[in-house]
Chain A
């Protein structure tokens, strides 16, 4: 991205939401630098046995498609229509009312009409009409039907990789038409002829081999964990242990791998470790299942299932009773809505029960996996932790609902409860931009690549704008969230649109506030920043 100068925020902000008079049926795909992601490298295509393996870039004229690509796509489409009611139904019943049009952050941020969810879906729907409905076969263009051509395929690629599968459009559609679902199907089809992006395929291939997206081998995982424990020893004076691959533990803990490798995820990671130590949790990390995230979900259902299989397999091998999961967005979409179907039934596990409070998580009784904010909120509610809220006083906090936990699970109050218990200053963003109506960070669904920076900044504009609002109104300087992609994507986004607002995880806030048995007096927070003045004693709960 260094070679291309980015526009200034004032220029980027000049967006018109009024589409021109052109006909959208003319295929168009810009592949302008900064608005698309690179193609998947051959090595990783090979490792995952993907179809039509070759070196390839979307900006190339020749995509090296197989000679029978068209038949492949149409056969694939027929198969998907037969397999997914959502697909058939959503292709059939859209009335083009336009209610979803300006709900997509990519449309708002770019003004490109093909980023209106309804048009994104029409890109595929028009081909469906042409080959699968009588009116489309008969009347062609006049029935809204288009031939499948290479240009149409390129257009699909461009726009299906400008959708973060955030499902905001689905909330507003009177029939619940979920353009995320259409995008997923669109990507499945593109995969059939070998068109996917590096930022999806490479992490997926790494995860398949090493257990996590970053390709961290087991010994390096252990080393990283060691660094974290050293850091905590320096901070608190307590020697914490964190077991790895330990058989017979009660709980297997799975987090997104970014938590132990990236910033500011790291501090959330520290927060987990402190919490587990403080309550004396009988748990284990795993190196084989060292990733909760699942980039397979951004590729195909099949790949999602292949990657997801490790969690149950490892839970079985380690003979744990249930599984606890860290802070991550799409990871939880997979765990909540897909895992049990993919790789269940988990009849070798037990219904999750908090060893500290005795609470049964009956909402997870089949999948047997609990979200860490559910677990921690329950601890706090039962007063099992000692907290010093004032250690977060340097921050005025707002909370970004990550799309997947919000619209996939309905996990809205649990993280807020933890924030309120651990911080004194918490302010909500405007109502139209949080909870089920939350705006995506703009980098989900595998679009967080550096080369895609302009599109990411555009897609993140609505979120950033809401942050700006609370910053100006309440002086908010920290945004908390529970998604690993958010934690990676939001810092550059906010730096661009709303400088001086940081990003943190909810368990970082907990880690700061947590008063540990036998800890030495803290002078800094987890980030090593000095605590706000007048602190130390005081409102310990």
Chain B
């Protein structure tokens, strides 16, 4: 059901782009107003969410420890999974953010007869996620060539490498293929893995389809409906210098691509995609395991009602004296 709704949503978005820009010719709206608006929402929304998280207090020191603590000098501690130095935390976070360390642990519980419960290694999700996110990053970086002049050498180089393999056809970028494959995998997993399907919400399908739509229109634009790249670049430079001009003679497909990206940008801060920023702030991962070494202060701490020793002794004094336990007050 959710899948259907999100499909309909995506189709509507594409149609809006198609009709608006392709048929009605509202170029200004789709090439200038929508992108500016989306970018504005994205920047303001993203910062707002991050600031909100960052300013929320972390009252208790709650790292999830995944390795040997630092204790006695002759026991080797795990400096990454149970970091007790700032560098340890940096390495833990780097592993988490760059290599998806925790997903790499993934396994799958399975029942077998007679009465066996097994855990099979299951790294497909890790692989799919890695391929997807890294391809996305490379593709984003590649796109920089449309936004900066002159194009930095490293970007050109990246683009060169990405296209180097000439696979499966000359002029294809590897990452284009990979990202579509990874998206397909993630999508099928959501659809066909009963556990994941059970927990999936409309927004989960929507995000996948939206990014998929962007990837596909991008590929179409490059290989099938060739667009004038110089014009595209002129357009983006105009946008960035706050001197926008409506591009001329660019196919409708470009507008659809651009509109999908605009929708993604505007949607981003309201969605789970914010995990991009949130992962850095996760208190179970970014704190050192030095809870007994350095005192952690709770900013909203307040006094509570306790049962004092005096109250305790008052209740039990007679009995304590009788058996010879020392007491404070001897009346």
**Chain A residues engaging chain B, CB cutoff 8 angstroms:** 9-10, 13, 15, 17-19, 24, 49, 81-86, 88-89, 92-99, 101-103, 108, 113, 116, 118-119, 122, 133-135, 142-144, 167, 170-178, 181, 208-211, 217-219, 222-223, 244-247, 287-288, 301-302, 305-306, 309-310, 313-314, 317, 335-338, 340-342, 344-345, 359, 361-367, 369, 374, 377-378, 381, 406-414, 417, 430, 432-433, 435-437, 461-462, 465, 468
Residues on A with C-beta less than 8 A from B56 are 81-85, 88-89
Residues of B within 8 A of A93 (CB): 272, 274-275, 278-279, 282
Say if the beta carbon of B204 comes within 8 Å of chain A: yes
Q: Is the CB of A341 within 8 A of B102?
A: no
What are 13 A-B contacts with C-beta separation under 8 Å?
Answer: A89-B281, A92-B274, A96-B201, A99-B103, A210-B316, A305-B304, A340-B292, A341-B297, A363-B70, A365-B292, A366-B295, A410-B69, A465-B117
Asked if residues A86 and B199 are in contact (CB atoms below 8 Å), the reply is no
Residues of B close to A142: CB separation below 8 A: 2, 5, 202
* Cross-interface CB contact of B199 among A24, A83, A359, A369, cutoff 8 Å: A24
Q: CA–CA, A175 to B278, complex, Å?
A: 8
A99 touches B115 (CB 8 A): no
Cross-chain contact A219 with B199 (CB below 8 angstroms): no
Q: B202–A144 contact, CB under 8 A? A: yes
> B194 contacts which chain A residues (CB < 8 A)?
18-19
Let me know if B293 and A97 touch, CB within 8 A.
no
List A contacts of B283 (CB < 8 A).
Answer: 85-86, 89, 176
- Measured between beta carbons, the chain A residues less than 8 angstroms from B105 are 171-172, 437
Please state if A96 and B196 are interface contacts (CB–CB under 8 Å).
yes
Given the interface pairs A144-B201, A171-B66, A414-B75, the reply to whether A366 lies near B293 with Cβ below 8 Å is yes
9 smallest beta-carbon distances between A and B, as pairs? A410-B69, A176-B284, A93-B278, A85-B56, A367-B292, A176-B285, A410-B65, A98-B196, A410-B82
Q: Which of B248-256, B258-266, B318-326 contacts A (4 or more CB under 8 A)?
A: B318-326
B33-41, B144-152, B219-227, B307-315 - interface stretch: B307-315
Comparing B106-114, B134-142, B209-217, B237-245, the segment that makes contact with chain A is B106-114
Given contacts A361-B71, A363-B70, A377-B72, contact A410 B198 (CB under 8 A): no
> What CA separation (Å) do A336 and B49 show in the bound complex?
31
**Across-interface contacts of B297 in A (CB, < 8 A):** 341
* Nearest CB on B from A353, distance (A): 13
Distance in Å: Cβ of B29 to nearest Cβ of chain A: 24
Tell whether B176 is near chain A: CB-to-CB under 8 Å: no
A86–B62 contact, CB under 8 A? yes
- Report the nearest A residue to B290, measured CB to CB: A363
Are B296 and A413 in contact, CB atoms less than 8 angstroms apart?
no
B108, A218: Cβ atoms under 8 Å? no
Give the complex CA separation of A81 and B53 in angstroms. 10
**Chain B proximity of A41: nearest CB distance (Å):** 19
Q: How far is the CA of A211 from the CA of B325 in the complex (A)?
A: 15
In the bound complex, CA of A26 to CA of B96 (Å): 35
Which residue of chain B is the closest to A367 with respect to CB atoms? B292
- Is B16 close to A, CB under 8 A? no
A181 to B59, CA, bound (A): 12
Asked whether, in the complex, the Cβ of B74 is within 8 Å of the Cβ of A175, the reply is no
In the complex, the answer to whether B106 meets A365 with C-beta atoms within 8 Å is no
Known: A171-B102, A337-B291, A437-B105. A108 touches B117 (CB 8 A): yes
Contact of A381 among B74, B76, B196, B279 (CB under 8 A): B74
Interfacial chain A residues near B107, Cβ < 8 Å: 432
B108 near A102 (CB under 8 angstroms)?
Answer: yes
**Of B66, B71, B102, most A-chain CB atoms within 10 Å:** B71
Whether B71 contacts A84 by the Cβ 8 Å rule is: no
Q: In the complex, what residues of B have CB within 8 A of residue A95's CB?
A: 204, 272, 275
Interface size on B, residues (CB 8 A): 98
Q: By the criterion CB–CB under 8 Å, are B66 and A86 in contact?
A: no
B313 to chain A, nearest CB (A): 8
Given the contacts A247-B326, A340-B295, A369-B292, A407 and B72 also touching, CB distance less than 8 Å: no
Contact of A417 among B75, B198, B270, B315 (CB under 8 A): B75
A335 and B61 CA atoms in complex are apart in Å by 11
- A174 to B278, alpha carbons, bound, how many Å? 11
Chain A residue with Cβ nearest B317: A218
A436 contacts across to B, CB distance below 8 A = 65-67, 81
Complexed CA–CA distance, A465 and B119 (Å):
11
- Return chain B residues, CB-CB under 8 Å to A116: 195, 198-199
Kindly state the separation between the CA atoms of A413 and B105 in the bound complex, as whole angstroms.
Answer: 21
A122 nearest in chain B by CB position: B199
Task: Determine which of B106, B201, B294 lies in contact with A172 in the assembled complex, contact meaning CB atoms within 8 Å.
Answer: B106
Residues in B with CB closer than 8 Å to A310 are: 306-307, 309
Contact A407 B109 (CB under 8 A): no
Q: Please give, as numbers and ranges, the residues of chain A lying within 8 Å of B129 by CB-CB distance.
A: 97, 174
Instruction: Contact check, A99 vs B102: say whether CB atoms are below 8 A apart.
Output: yes
Q: Does B298 interact with chain A (Cβ within 8 Å)?
A: yes
For chain B residues 79-103, which have a beta carbon within 8 Å of chain A? 81-82, 84, 96, 100, 102-103
Distance, CA A89 to CA B57, complexed state (A): 11
**Would you call B116 an interface residue if the criterion is a C-beta within 8 Å of the partner chain's C-beta atoms?**
yes
Chain B min CB distance to A100 (Å)? 9
| Complex CA distance for A501 and B142, rounded to whole angstroms | 61
Note all chain B residues with C-beta closer than 8 A to A170. Answer: 64, 284
State whether the Cβ of B58 lies closer than 8 Å to any Cβ in chain A: yes
Instruction: Other than A173-B102, A410-B67, give 9 A-B pairs with Cβ distance below 8 A.
Output: A9-B115, A17-B195, A93-B282, A181-B62, A245-B326, A287-B316, A309-B306, A363-B70, A437-B105
| Complex Cα spacing A246 to B306, Å | 22
Residues of the A chain whose Cβ atoms lie less than 8 Å from the Cβ of B196: 96-98, 101
CA distance A461 to B118 in the complex (A): 12
Quote the shortest CB–CB distance from A198 to chain B (angstroms): 20
The contact of A336 among B59, B106, B291, B320, by CB within 8 Å, is B291
Quick check: A364 and B117 within 8 Å, CB to CB? no
Q: For residue A296, which residue of chain B has the nearest CB?
A: B304
B271 to chain A, nearest CB (A): 8
Contacts of A462 in B (CB 8 A): 109, 117
Task: Name the residue on B nearest A437 (C-beta).
Answer: B105
Residue B115 contacts which of A13, A108, A408 (CB distance < 8 angstroms)? A13
**Interface membership of B68, Cβ < 8 A:** yes
Assess A178 versus B52: contact at CB under 8 Å? Given A95-B272, A96-B196, A314-B309. no
Q: Does B200 contact A (CB under 8 A)?
A: yes
Q: Does B329 contact A (CB under 8 A)?
A: no
Taking A174-B96, A288-B309 as contacts, is the C-beta distance between A19 and B198 under 8 angstroms?
yes
A209 to B309, CA, bound (A): 10
Determine which residue in B125, B307, B319, B320 has the highest number of CB atoms from chain A within 10 A of its CB, and name it: B307
Instruction: Determine if A174 and B57 form an interchain contact, defined as CB atoms under 8 angstroms apart.
Output: no
